[in-house]
Structure 1
Amino acid sequence: MNNSINISVIISTYNSEDWLEKVLLGYACQDDTTFEIVIADDGSKQPTFDLIERLQKEVSYPIQHVWQEDEGFQKSRILNKAILACKADYILMSDGDCIPRKDFVSTHLKYREKGFFLSGGYFMLPMNISKIITKETIFSQDCFKVNWLKKNGLSSSFKNNKLSANGFMQGLLNKVTPTNASWNGHNASGWKEDIVAINGFDERMQYGGQDRELGERLMNKGVKSKQIRYSAVCVHLDHPRGYKNQDSINKNLAIRAETKNKNKTWTNYGIKKD
Protein backbone atom coordinates (compact mmCIF):
# COMPACT_ATOMS: atom_id res chain seq x y z
CA MET A 1 0.00 0.00 0.00
CA ASN A 2 1.14 3.53 -0.79
CA ASN A 3 1.66 5.28 2.55
CA SER A 4 1.36 8.82 1.25
CA ILE A 5 -2.12 10.27 1.74
CA ASN A 6 -2.94 12.82 -0.98
CA ILE A 7 -6.63 13.12 -0.19
CA SER A 8 -8.86 12.56 2.83
CA VAL A 9 -12.35 11.28 2.02
CA ILE A 10 -15.02 12.18 4.59
CA ILE A 11 -18.01 9.83 4.57
CA SER A 12 -20.99 10.80 6.72
CA THR A 13 -23.13 8.04 8.24
CA TYR A 14 -25.84 7.33 10.78
CA ASN A 15 -27.07 3.80 11.63
CA SER A 16 -27.07 2.48 8.06
CA GLU A 17 -24.35 -0.13 8.08
CA ASP A 18 -25.74 -2.12 5.10
CA TRP A 19 -25.35 0.89 2.82
CA LEU A 20 -22.07 1.98 4.45
CA GLU A 21 -20.56 -1.45 3.75
CA LYS A 22 -21.36 -1.15 0.03
CA VAL A 23 -19.85 2.34 -0.03
CA LEU A 24 -16.64 1.26 1.71
CA LEU A 25 -16.32 -1.68 -0.71
CA GLY A 26 -16.53 0.89 -3.52
CA TYR A 27 -13.43 2.57 -2.07
CA ALA A 28 -11.66 -0.81 -2.05
CA CYS A 29 -11.85 -0.70 -5.89
CA GLN A 30 -10.27 2.74 -6.43
CA ASP A 31 -7.58 3.06 -9.10
CA ASP A 32 -5.76 5.60 -6.90
CA THR A 33 -5.00 4.34 -3.40
CA THR A 34 -3.38 7.47 -1.94
CA PHE A 35 -6.39 8.26 0.26
CA GLU A 36 -7.72 7.72 3.75
CA ILE A 37 -11.38 7.42 4.76
CA VAL A 38 -12.63 9.53 7.66
CA ILE A 39 -16.08 8.37 8.76
CA ALA A 40 -18.13 11.22 10.21
CA ASP A 41 -20.56 9.29 12.41
CA ASP A 42 -23.47 11.24 13.89
CA GLY A 43 -24.16 8.80 16.72
CA SER A 44 -24.50 5.31 15.20
CA LYS A 45 -24.91 2.26 17.43
CA GLN A 46 -22.76 -0.87 17.84
CA PRO A 47 -23.46 -2.51 14.43
CA THR A 48 -21.66 0.38 12.69
CA PHE A 49 -18.66 0.02 15.05
CA ASP A 50 -18.57 -3.74 14.31
CA LEU A 51 -18.70 -3.16 10.55
CA ILE A 52 -15.88 -0.60 10.60
CA GLU A 53 -13.72 -2.82 12.80
CA ARG A 54 -14.21 -5.75 10.41
CA LEU A 55 -13.52 -3.71 7.27
CA GLN A 56 -10.41 -2.10 8.77
CA LYS A 57 -8.92 -5.62 8.62
CA GLU A 58 -10.26 -6.38 5.11
CA VAL A 59 -9.49 -3.26 3.07
CA SER A 60 -6.07 -1.84 2.25
CA TYR A 61 -6.84 1.84 2.92
CA PRO A 62 -6.79 3.47 6.38
CA ILE A 63 -10.14 4.24 8.07
CA GLN A 64 -10.59 6.76 10.88
CA HIS A 65 -13.90 6.54 12.75
CA VAL A 66 -14.94 9.94 14.16
CA TRP A 67 -18.05 9.47 16.32
CA GLN A 68 -20.24 11.67 18.50
CA GLU A 69 -23.22 11.00 20.79
CA ASP A 70 -26.62 10.87 19.09
CA GLU A 71 -28.28 14.22 19.81
CA GLY A 72 -30.60 14.33 16.84
CA PHE A 73 -29.48 15.42 13.36
CA GLN A 74 -26.08 17.09 14.03
CA LYS A 75 -24.33 16.36 10.75
CA SER A 76 -22.66 19.79 10.55
CA ARG A 77 -21.02 19.25 13.95
CA ILE A 78 -19.63 15.80 13.14
CA LEU A 79 -18.39 17.00 9.74
CA ASN A 80 -16.40 19.77 11.47
CA LYS A 81 -14.82 17.17 13.76
CA ALA A 82 -13.99 15.02 10.71
CA ILE A 83 -12.42 17.98 8.88
CA LEU A 84 -10.00 18.50 11.78
CA ALA A 85 -9.15 14.76 11.77
CA CYS A 86 -8.21 14.74 8.06
CA LYS A 87 -4.51 14.07 7.48
CA ALA A 88 -4.36 15.30 3.86
CA ASP A 89 -4.37 18.92 2.74
CA TYR A 90 -7.14 18.11 0.23
CA ILE A 91 -10.59 16.88 1.31
CA LEU A 92 -13.29 15.03 -0.64
CA MET A 93 -16.73 14.80 0.99
CA SER A 94 -19.33 12.17 0.22
CA ASP A 95 -22.05 10.21 2.02
CA GLY A 96 -22.54 6.74 3.43
CA ASP A 97 -25.16 6.08 0.76
CA CYS A 98 -23.00 6.93 -2.30
CA ILE A 99 -20.94 4.14 -3.88
CA PRO A 100 -17.96 5.60 -5.79
CA ARG A 101 -16.96 4.38 -9.24
CA LYS A 102 -13.36 3.13 -9.38
CA ASP A 103 -12.08 6.46 -10.80
CA PHE A 104 -13.90 8.62 -8.24
CA VAL A 105 -10.89 9.53 -6.07
CA SER A 106 -8.48 9.85 -9.01
CA THR A 107 -10.89 12.19 -10.83
CA HIS A 108 -11.04 14.55 -7.84
CA LEU A 109 -7.23 14.47 -7.62
CA LYS A 110 -6.89 15.08 -11.36
CA TYR A 111 -9.07 18.21 -11.38
CA ARG A 112 -8.05 19.74 -8.05
CA GLU A 113 -6.58 23.21 -8.40
CA LYS A 114 -5.56 25.94 -5.97
CA GLY A 115 -8.27 28.59 -5.67
CA PHE A 116 -11.05 26.17 -6.66
CA PHE A 117 -13.39 23.57 -5.22
CA LEU A 118 -14.91 20.75 -7.28
CA SER A 119 -18.63 20.08 -7.59
CA GLY A 120 -19.77 16.56 -8.50
CA GLY A 121 -23.22 14.98 -8.67
CA TYR A 122 -24.76 11.58 -8.04
CA PHE A 123 -26.86 9.05 -9.89
CA MET A 124 -30.02 8.17 -7.95
CA LEU A 125 -30.94 4.48 -7.82
CA PRO A 126 -34.39 3.19 -6.87
CA MET A 127 -34.73 1.04 -3.74
CA ASN A 128 -35.10 -2.29 -5.61
CA ILE A 129 -31.75 -1.81 -7.38
CA SER A 130 -30.06 -0.38 -4.25
CA LYS A 131 -30.88 -3.63 -2.45
CA ILE A 132 -29.54 -6.03 -5.09
CA ILE A 133 -26.11 -4.41 -5.37
CA THR A 134 -23.55 -6.85 -3.93
CA LYS A 135 -19.83 -6.97 -3.30
CA GLU A 136 -19.51 -8.79 -6.66
CA THR A 137 -21.40 -6.14 -8.64
CA ILE A 138 -19.31 -3.41 -6.98
CA PHE A 139 -15.99 -5.18 -7.67
CA SER A 140 -17.03 -5.90 -11.29
CA GLN A 141 -18.30 -2.27 -11.54
CA ASP A 142 -21.57 -3.62 -13.02
CA CYS A 143 -23.56 -1.32 -10.73
CA PHE A 144 -22.22 1.65 -12.76
CA LYS A 145 -23.11 0.13 -16.15
CA VAL A 146 -26.32 1.31 -17.76
CA ASN A 147 -26.95 -2.11 -19.36
CA TRP A 148 -26.79 -3.94 -16.03
CA LEU A 149 -28.99 -1.32 -14.36
CA LYS A 150 -31.56 -1.48 -17.18
CA LYS A 151 -31.62 -5.28 -16.96
CA ASN A 152 -32.60 -4.76 -13.33
CA GLY A 153 -35.37 -2.26 -14.00
CA LEU A 154 -33.76 1.15 -14.56
CA SER A 155 -35.73 3.22 -17.06
CA SER A 156 -34.20 5.14 -19.99
CA SER A 157 -33.39 8.78 -19.23
CA PHE A 158 -31.00 11.54 -20.29
CA LYS A 159 -29.59 11.26 -16.77
CA ASN A 160 -28.11 7.88 -17.73
CA ASN A 161 -25.41 9.89 -19.55
CA LYS A 162 -23.93 10.55 -16.11
CA LEU A 163 -22.84 6.90 -16.10
CA SER A 164 -22.01 6.37 -19.75
CA ALA A 165 -20.33 9.63 -20.80
CA ASN A 166 -16.56 9.48 -21.21
CA GLY A 167 -13.69 11.59 -22.49
CA PHE A 168 -14.83 14.49 -24.67
CA MET A 169 -18.51 13.92 -23.85
CA GLN A 170 -17.88 14.23 -20.10
CA GLY A 171 -16.19 17.59 -20.59
CA LEU A 172 -18.94 18.83 -22.88
CA LEU A 173 -21.74 17.81 -20.50
CA ASN A 174 -19.88 19.39 -17.55
CA LYS A 175 -19.79 22.65 -19.55
CA VAL A 176 -23.40 22.72 -20.74
CA THR A 177 -25.23 21.39 -17.67
CA PRO A 178 -27.57 24.03 -16.24
CA THR A 179 -26.87 22.71 -12.73
CA ASN A 180 -24.96 25.08 -10.44
CA ALA A 181 -21.43 24.07 -9.49
CA SER A 182 -22.31 24.25 -5.80
CA TRP A 183 -20.72 22.45 -2.84
CA ASN A 184 -22.66 19.16 -2.72
CA GLY A 185 -22.19 17.11 0.44
CA HIS A 186 -22.42 13.85 -1.50
CA ASN A 187 -19.66 14.69 -4.00
CA ALA A 188 -17.48 17.77 -3.58
CA SER A 189 -13.84 18.44 -2.77
CA GLY A 190 -11.64 21.33 -1.77
CA TRP A 191 -8.51 22.41 0.07
CA LYS A 192 -8.53 21.88 3.82
CA GLU A 193 -6.99 25.32 4.39
CA ASP A 194 -9.86 26.97 2.46
CA ILE A 195 -12.50 25.07 4.46
CA VAL A 196 -10.81 25.89 7.78
CA ALA A 197 -10.40 29.56 6.71
CA ILE A 198 -14.22 29.93 6.58
CA ASN A 199 -14.61 27.96 9.85
CA GLY A 200 -16.19 24.86 8.31
CA PHE A 201 -19.88 24.11 8.55
CA ASP A 202 -22.40 26.28 10.38
CA GLU A 203 -23.50 24.02 13.25
CA ARG A 204 -26.84 25.81 13.65
CA MET A 205 -27.83 24.15 10.40
CA GLN A 206 -29.48 20.76 10.51
CA TYR A 207 -31.06 19.02 7.51
CA GLY A 208 -31.14 20.90 4.23
CA GLY A 209 -28.51 23.00 2.55
CA GLN A 210 -25.65 23.17 5.05
CA ASP A 211 -23.32 21.96 2.30
CA ARG A 212 -24.51 24.67 -0.11
CA GLU A 213 -24.01 27.33 2.56
CA LEU A 214 -20.41 26.18 3.10
CA GLY A 215 -19.85 26.54 -0.66
CA GLU A 216 -21.43 30.00 -0.66
CA ARG A 217 -18.99 31.18 2.01
CA LEU A 218 -16.08 29.66 0.05
CA MET A 219 -17.19 31.64 -3.00
CA ASN A 220 -17.55 34.82 -0.94
CA LYS A 221 -13.95 34.22 0.12
CA GLY A 222 -12.88 34.14 -3.54
CA VAL A 223 -12.70 30.37 -4.06
CA LYS A 224 -14.21 29.47 -7.44
CA SER A 225 -16.06 26.28 -8.30
CA LYS A 226 -15.50 23.74 -11.09
CA GLN A 227 -18.22 21.45 -12.44
CA ILE A 228 -17.30 17.73 -12.61
CA ARG A 229 -20.74 16.08 -12.26
CA TYR A 230 -20.26 13.94 -15.41
CA SER A 231 -16.66 12.99 -14.52
CA ALA A 232 -16.73 12.05 -10.81
CA VAL A 233 -19.42 9.41 -10.61
CA CYS A 234 -21.12 7.82 -7.62
CA VAL A 235 -24.44 5.97 -7.39
CA HIS A 236 -26.83 7.00 -4.63
CA LEU A 237 -28.60 4.22 -2.73
CA ASP A 238 -32.22 4.91 -1.84
CA HIS A 239 -33.38 5.39 1.75
CA PRO A 240 -36.17 7.06 3.74
CA ARG A 241 -35.45 10.54 5.12
CA GLY A 242 -37.02 10.56 8.57
CA TYR A 243 -34.96 13.58 9.61
CA LYS A 244 -36.32 15.85 6.87
CA ASN A 245 -38.53 18.63 8.24
CA GLN A 246 -39.72 21.96 6.88
CA ASP A 247 -38.79 23.99 10.00
CA SER A 248 -35.16 22.98 9.66
CA ILE A 249 -35.19 23.75 5.92
CA ASN A 250 -36.73 27.21 6.50
CA LYS A 251 -34.21 28.05 9.23
CA ASN A 252 -31.38 27.03 6.93
CA LEU A 253 -32.74 29.11 4.05
CA ALA A 254 -32.69 32.15 6.37
CA ILE A 255 -29.05 31.48 7.32
CA ARG A 256 -28.13 31.09 3.63
CA ALA A 257 -29.92 34.34 2.77
CA GLU A 258 -27.86 36.14 5.43
CA THR A 259 -24.63 34.59 4.09
CA LYS A 260 -25.53 35.87 0.65
CA ASN A 261 -26.80 39.34 1.60
CA LYS A 262 -23.91 40.10 3.96
CA ASN A 263 -21.32 38.39 1.73
CA LYS A 264 -20.22 36.36 4.75
CA THR A 265 -17.03 34.28 4.66
CA TRP A 266 -17.05 33.15 8.31
CA THR A 267 -19.53 31.53 10.67
CA ASN A 268 -19.30 32.01 14.42
CA TYR A 269 -20.94 28.59 14.80
CA GLY A 270 -18.32 26.46 13.06
CA ILE A 271 -15.10 24.63 13.92
CA LYS A 272 -14.02 27.44 16.25
CA LYS A 273 -16.74 28.63 18.63
CA ASP A 274 -16.93 32.24 19.75
Structure 2
Amino acid sequence: MQQAPTISVVITTYNRPDALTAVVEACFLQDDKNFEIIIADDGSGANTRDCIDALRARAPVPLKHVWQPDEGFRAAMARNRGTLAANGDYIIFLDGDCIPQRDFIARHRALAQPGFLVSGSRILLSQRFTDQVLAEHIDVPGLGLFDKLRYRLRGDMNKVLQLMLRWPDLGRIRRKFSWRRIKSCNLAVWRADLEKVNGFDESFVGWGHEDSDLVVRLFHAGVLRKDGALATEVLHLWHREAKRDEESSNRKVVLQRAADKTIQATRGLREHQGESA
Protein backbone atom coordinates (compact mmCIF):
# COMPACT_ATOMS: atom_id res chain seq x y z
CA MET A 1 0.00 0.00 0.00
CA GLN A 2 1.39 3.40 -0.95
CA GLN A 3 2.16 5.71 1.94
CA ALA A 4 1.65 9.44 1.91
CA PRO A 5 5.11 10.97 1.42
CA THR A 6 4.22 14.16 3.25
CA ILE A 7 1.40 14.67 5.75
CA SER A 8 -0.08 18.01 6.80
CA VAL A 9 -2.38 18.18 9.82
CA VAL A 10 -4.81 21.10 9.48
CA ILE A 11 -6.20 21.97 12.92
CA THR A 12 -9.18 24.34 13.06
CA THR A 13 -9.58 26.57 16.11
CA TYR A 14 -11.58 29.48 17.45
CA ASN A 15 -10.89 31.20 20.78
CA ARG A 16 -10.13 28.11 22.82
CA PRO A 17 -6.38 28.22 23.46
CA ASP A 18 -6.42 25.78 26.38
CA ALA A 19 -8.00 23.05 24.25
CA LEU A 20 -5.77 23.90 21.29
CA THR A 21 -2.70 23.53 23.51
CA ALA A 22 -3.80 20.05 24.60
CA VAL A 23 -4.36 19.00 20.99
CA VAL A 24 -1.10 20.39 19.62
CA GLU A 25 0.94 18.99 22.50
CA ALA A 26 -0.54 15.55 21.74
CA CYS A 27 0.60 16.07 18.14
CA PHE A 28 4.11 16.82 19.43
CA LEU A 29 4.12 13.40 21.15
CA GLN A 30 3.24 11.37 18.05
CA ASP A 31 5.19 8.19 17.37
CA ASP A 32 5.53 9.31 13.74
CA LYS A 33 6.84 12.88 13.54
CA ASN A 34 7.12 13.12 9.76
CA PHE A 35 4.36 15.70 9.38
CA GLU A 36 3.63 19.41 9.70
CA ILE A 37 0.91 21.30 11.57
CA ILE A 38 -1.18 24.09 10.07
CA ILE A 39 -3.42 25.86 12.59
CA ALA A 40 -6.42 27.17 10.65
CA ASP A 41 -7.78 29.95 12.84
CA ASP A 42 -11.33 31.18 12.25
CA GLY A 43 -10.79 34.61 13.79
CA SER A 44 -9.45 33.99 17.30
CA GLY A 45 -8.10 36.82 19.43
CA ALA A 46 -4.70 37.63 20.85
CA ASN A 47 -4.77 34.89 23.50
CA THR A 48 -4.82 32.22 20.82
CA ARG A 49 -2.06 33.95 18.84
CA ASP A 50 0.13 34.07 21.94
CA CYS A 51 -0.63 30.43 22.66
CA ILE A 52 0.40 29.43 19.12
CA ASP A 53 3.60 31.47 19.33
CA ALA A 54 4.54 29.62 22.53
CA LEU A 55 3.75 26.24 20.95
CA ARG A 56 5.75 27.08 17.83
CA ALA A 57 8.80 27.95 19.94
CA ARG A 58 9.03 24.36 21.21
CA ALA A 59 7.50 22.45 18.31
CA PRO A 60 9.39 19.32 17.16
CA VAL A 61 7.64 19.59 13.77
CA PRO A 62 6.96 22.56 11.45
CA LEU A 63 4.01 24.66 12.65
CA LYS A 64 2.19 27.44 10.78
CA HIS A 65 -0.66 29.72 11.83
CA VAL A 66 -3.23 30.81 9.21
CA TRP A 67 -5.70 33.40 10.52
CA GLN A 68 -8.83 34.99 9.04
CA PRO A 69 -11.08 37.74 10.46
CA ASP A 70 -13.96 36.74 12.74
CA GLU A 71 -17.03 37.08 10.54
CA GLY A 72 -19.13 34.26 11.92
CA PHE A 73 -18.72 30.49 11.60
CA ARG A 74 -16.45 29.99 8.58
CA ALA A 75 -14.78 26.65 9.24
CA ALA A 76 -14.94 25.68 5.56
CA MET A 77 -12.91 28.75 4.61
CA ALA A 78 -10.43 28.16 7.43
CA ARG A 79 -9.88 24.58 6.27
CA ASN A 80 -9.42 25.71 2.68
CA ARG A 81 -6.86 28.31 3.71
CA GLY A 82 -5.13 25.74 5.88
CA THR A 83 -4.97 23.38 2.91
CA LEU A 84 -3.47 26.06 0.68
CA ALA A 85 -0.81 26.82 3.31
CA ALA A 86 0.10 23.13 3.64
CA ASN A 87 3.02 21.42 1.93
CA GLY A 88 1.63 17.92 2.27
CA ASP A 89 0.27 15.59 -0.39
CA TYR A 90 -2.09 14.16 2.23
CA ILE A 91 -4.19 16.38 4.50
CA ILE A 92 -5.54 15.25 7.86
CA PHE A 93 -8.24 17.59 9.19
CA LEU A 94 -8.40 17.73 12.98
CA ASP A 95 -10.41 20.04 15.22
CA GLY A 96 -8.76 22.11 17.93
CA ASP A 97 -10.72 20.27 20.63
CA CYS A 98 -9.91 16.72 19.50
CA ILE A 99 -6.85 15.16 21.15
CA PRO A 100 -5.11 12.53 19.00
CA GLN A 101 -3.69 9.29 20.36
CA ARG A 102 0.04 8.61 20.11
CA ASP A 103 -0.29 6.55 16.90
CA PHE A 104 -2.79 8.88 15.19
CA ILE A 105 -0.39 9.95 12.43
CA ALA A 106 1.07 6.47 12.04
CA ARG A 107 -2.36 4.88 11.67
CA HIS A 108 -3.55 7.49 9.19
CA ARG A 109 -0.35 7.02 7.21
CA ALA A 110 -0.89 3.26 7.12
CA LEU A 111 -4.46 3.72 5.86
CA ALA A 112 -3.58 6.31 3.20
CA GLN A 113 -4.31 4.95 -0.26
CA PRO A 114 -4.83 6.80 -3.55
CA GLY A 115 -8.49 6.96 -4.49
CA PHE A 116 -9.71 6.87 -0.88
CA LEU A 117 -10.42 9.22 2.00
CA VAL A 118 -10.32 8.03 5.61
CA SER A 119 -13.12 9.05 7.97
CA GLY A 120 -12.17 8.74 11.62
CA SER A 121 -14.32 8.79 14.73
CA ARG A 122 -14.19 10.35 18.17
CA ILE A 123 -14.56 9.48 21.83
CA LEU A 124 -16.55 12.05 23.78
CA LEU A 125 -15.29 13.32 27.13
CA SER A 126 -17.65 14.65 29.78
CA GLN A 127 -17.74 18.29 30.84
CA ARG A 128 -16.34 17.36 34.25
CA PHE A 129 -13.44 15.37 32.80
CA THR A 130 -12.73 18.00 30.14
CA ASP A 131 -12.42 20.67 32.82
CA GLN A 132 -10.06 18.40 34.75
CA VAL A 133 -7.95 17.56 31.71
CA LEU A 134 -7.46 21.22 30.81
CA ALA A 135 -6.93 22.47 34.36
CA GLU A 136 -4.50 19.70 35.38
CA HIS A 137 -2.91 19.15 31.95
CA ILE A 138 -3.78 15.45 32.01
CA ASP A 139 -2.19 13.46 29.19
CA VAL A 140 -5.29 11.43 28.28
CA PRO A 141 -3.69 9.37 25.48
CA GLY A 142 -0.93 8.41 27.92
CA LEU A 143 -3.29 7.09 30.61
CA GLY A 144 -2.96 3.45 31.61
CA LEU A 145 -5.62 0.79 31.08
CA PHE A 146 -6.92 1.01 34.64
CA ASP A 147 -7.39 4.79 34.46
CA LYS A 148 -9.17 4.58 31.11
CA LEU A 149 -11.56 1.98 32.46
CA ARG A 150 -12.13 4.05 35.59
CA TYR A 151 -13.04 7.15 33.60
CA ARG A 152 -15.35 5.08 31.41
CA LEU A 153 -17.15 3.64 34.44
CA ARG A 154 -17.51 7.15 35.87
CA GLY A 155 -19.19 8.23 32.64
CA ASP A 156 -16.36 10.58 31.69
CA MET A 157 -15.78 8.78 28.37
CA ASN A 158 -18.55 7.43 26.17
CA LYS A 159 -16.32 4.60 24.82
CA VAL A 160 -13.12 2.90 25.88
CA LEU A 161 -12.54 -0.26 23.80
CA GLN A 162 -11.52 1.96 20.88
CA LEU A 163 -8.57 3.16 22.97
CA MET A 164 -7.33 -0.37 23.60
CA LEU A 165 -8.07 -2.36 20.43
CA ARG A 166 -6.73 -2.03 16.90
CA TRP A 167 -8.72 -3.38 13.96
CA PRO A 168 -6.52 -4.75 11.14
CA ASP A 169 -6.20 -2.44 8.14
CA LEU A 170 -7.94 -4.88 5.80
CA GLY A 171 -11.70 -4.73 5.25
CA ARG A 172 -12.06 -0.99 5.86
CA ILE A 173 -13.43 0.04 2.46
CA ARG A 174 -17.11 0.99 2.51
CA ARG A 175 -18.57 -0.64 -0.58
CA LYS A 176 -21.95 1.02 0.00
CA PHE A 177 -21.46 4.77 0.02
CA SER A 178 -22.91 6.90 2.81
CA TRP A 179 -22.23 10.55 3.60
CA ARG A 180 -23.69 10.26 7.08
CA ARG A 181 -21.59 10.16 10.26
CA ILE A 182 -18.77 12.03 8.56
CA LYS A 183 -16.74 14.17 10.95
CA SER A 184 -14.29 16.71 9.57
CA CYS A 185 -12.82 16.83 13.08
CA ASN A 186 -10.99 13.65 11.99
CA LEU A 187 -10.85 13.27 8.22
CA ALA A 188 -7.94 12.50 5.87
CA VAL A 189 -8.02 13.38 2.16
CA TRP A 190 -5.41 13.49 -0.58
CA ARG A 191 -4.64 17.06 -1.56
CA ALA A 192 -5.08 16.24 -5.27
CA ASP A 193 -8.62 15.02 -4.53
CA LEU A 194 -9.43 18.20 -2.61
CA GLU A 195 -8.24 20.24 -5.57
CA LYS A 196 -10.30 18.10 -7.92
CA VAL A 197 -13.55 19.10 -6.16
CA ASN A 198 -12.46 22.66 -5.19
CA GLY A 199 -12.18 21.85 -1.49
CA PHE A 200 -14.74 22.64 1.19
CA ASP A 201 -17.67 24.75 0.01
CA GLU A 202 -17.66 28.13 1.70
CA SER A 203 -21.16 28.92 0.45
CA PHE A 204 -22.60 26.89 3.35
CA VAL A 205 -24.07 29.25 5.93
CA GLY A 206 -23.62 28.60 9.64
CA TRP A 207 -22.91 25.28 11.33
CA GLY A 208 -23.49 21.91 9.74
CA HIS A 209 -22.92 19.49 6.86
CA GLU A 210 -20.12 21.24 4.98
CA ASP A 211 -18.07 18.12 5.77
CA SER A 212 -20.80 15.79 4.45
CA ASP A 213 -21.01 17.93 1.33
CA LEU A 214 -17.28 17.50 0.72
CA VAL A 215 -17.52 13.72 1.00
CA VAL A 216 -20.54 13.60 -1.35
CA ARG A 217 -18.67 15.59 -3.99
CA LEU A 218 -15.52 13.50 -3.56
CA PHE A 219 -17.59 10.34 -4.08
CA HIS A 220 -19.01 11.77 -7.30
CA ALA A 221 -15.41 12.47 -8.36
CA GLY A 222 -14.51 8.81 -7.81
CA VAL A 223 -13.06 8.94 -4.29
CA LEU A 224 -14.22 6.10 -2.03
CA ARG A 225 -14.38 6.01 1.75
CA LYS A 226 -12.32 4.02 4.23
CA ASP A 227 -13.37 3.58 7.84
CA GLY A 228 -10.79 4.70 10.39
CA ALA A 229 -12.55 3.07 13.35
CA LEU A 230 -10.38 1.25 15.91
CA ALA A 231 -7.32 2.99 14.53
CA THR A 232 -7.62 6.78 14.38
CA GLU A 233 -9.99 7.73 17.21
CA VAL A 234 -9.57 11.16 18.81
CA LEU A 235 -10.62 12.30 22.28
CA HIS A 236 -13.20 15.06 21.87
CA LEU A 237 -13.15 17.64 24.65
CA TRP A 238 -16.59 18.77 25.80
CA HIS A 239 -18.01 22.08 24.59
CA ARG A 240 -21.41 23.70 24.35
CA GLU A 241 -23.28 22.89 21.17
CA ALA A 242 -22.94 25.44 18.40
CA LYS A 243 -26.04 27.23 17.13
CA ARG A 244 -27.64 25.07 14.46
CA ASP A 245 -30.02 27.56 12.89
CA GLU A 246 -28.97 26.64 9.35
CA GLU A 247 -28.54 22.89 9.82
CA SER A 248 -31.76 21.84 8.08
CA SER A 249 -31.17 24.08 5.06
CA ASN A 250 -27.57 22.89 4.78
CA ARG A 251 -28.74 19.28 4.90
CA LYS A 252 -31.15 19.97 2.05
CA VAL A 253 -28.25 21.27 -0.03
CA VAL A 254 -26.29 18.07 0.59
CA LEU A 255 -29.26 15.89 -0.35
CA GLN A 256 -29.77 17.87 -3.56
CA ARG A 257 -26.11 17.62 -4.46
CA ALA A 258 -26.17 13.90 -3.80
CA ALA A 259 -29.07 13.62 -6.26
CA ASP A 260 -27.45 15.94 -8.82
CA LYS A 261 -24.03 14.26 -8.55
CA THR A 262 -22.40 17.63 -7.93
CA ILE A 263 -18.59 17.61 -7.87
CA GLN A 264 -17.43 21.22 -7.66
CA ALA A 265 -17.72 23.53 -4.66
CA THR A 266 -19.51 26.79 -5.47
CA ARG A 267 -16.83 28.72 -3.58
CA GLY A 268 -13.73 26.90 -2.48
CA LEU A 269 -9.98 26.54 -2.96
CA ARG A 270 -9.75 28.20 -6.36
CA GLU A 271 -11.38 31.36 -5.09
CA HIS A 272 -8.33 31.91 -2.83
CA GLN A 273 -5.76 31.74 -5.61
CA GLY A 274 -3.28 34.56 -5.33
CA GLU A 275 -3.70 35.02 -1.58
CA SER A 276 -0.53 35.04 0.49
CA ALA A 277 -0.20 32.18 2.96
After superposition, where does 1:213-228 map in structure 2 within 5 Å?
213-228=213-228
1:106 and 2:106 equivalent?
A: yes
Letter in 2 for 1:259: R
Query: CA separation in 2, counterparts of 1:161 and 1:180?
Result: 24
Letter in 2 for 1:18: D
Letter in 2 for 1:265: I
Letter in 2 for 1:105: I
Query: CA separation in 2, counterparts of 1:180 and 1:131?
Result: 35
Query: CA separation in 2, counterparts of 1:54 and 1:14?
Result: 17
1:188 shift after superposition: 1.0
Letter in 2 for 1:141: G
Query: CA separation in 2, counterparts of 1:175 and 1:190?
Result: 14
Letter in 2 for 1:138: D
Query: CA separation in 2, counterparts of 1:175 and 1:116?
Result: 8
After superposition, where does 1:1-274 map in structure 2 within 5 Å?
6-133=6-133, 137-138=138-139, 141-142=142-143, 145=144, 147-152=146-151, 154-155=154-155, 159-168=159-168, 183-205=182-204, 206-241=206-241, 243-246=242-245, 248-273=246-271
Query: CA separation in 2, counterparts of 1:226 and 1:32?
Result: 21
Query: CA separation in 1, counterparts of 2:260 and 2:141?
Result: 49
TM-aligned CA distance change 1:5 to 1:64, over 3 Å: farther
Query: CA separation in 1, counterparts of 2:21 and 2:78?
Result: 20
Cα deviation digits, residues 142-183 of structure 1 (max 9, x gap): 1xx553144346339983221121355x868x689x995764
TM-aligned CA distance change 1:7 to 1:181, over 3 Å: farther
Query: CA separation in 1, counterparts of 2:177 and 2:164?
Result: 18
SS in 2 for 1:272: helix
Letter in 1 for 2:188: S
Q: TM-score, normalised by structure 1?
A: 0.88
Letter in 2 for 1:127: Q
Letter in 2 for 1:193: A
Q: TM-score, normalised by structure 2?
A: 0.87
The answer on whether the counterparts of 2:125 and 2:157 sit within 8 Å (CA) in structure 1 is no
SS in 2 for 1:99: strand
Query: CA separation in 1, counterparts of 2:219 and 2:255?
Result: 14
Query: CA separation in 1, counterparts of 2:158 and 2:22?
Result: 26
TM-aligned CA distance change 1:157 to 1:87, over 3 Å: closer
Identity score, percent: 30
Residue correspondences, number:
264
SS in 1 for 2:183: coil
TM-aligned CA distance change 1:106 to 1:10, over 3 Å: same
TM-aligned CA distance change 1:179 to 1:123, over 3 Å: farther
Query: CA separation in 1, counterparts of 2:203 and 2:38?
Result: 22
Letter in 1 for 2:28: A
TM-aligned CA distance change 1:146 to 1:132, over 3 Å: farther
Mark the runs of 5 or more structure 1 residues left unpaired by the alignment.
none
Letter in 2 for 1:188: L
SS in 1 for 2:66: strand
Query: CA separation in 2, counterparts of 1:202 and 1:15?
Result: 23
Query: CA separation in 1, counterparts of 2:91 and 2:74?
Result: 20
The answer on whether the counterparts of 1:5 and 1:35 sit within 8 Å (CA) in structure 2 is no
1:260 shift after superposition: 0.5
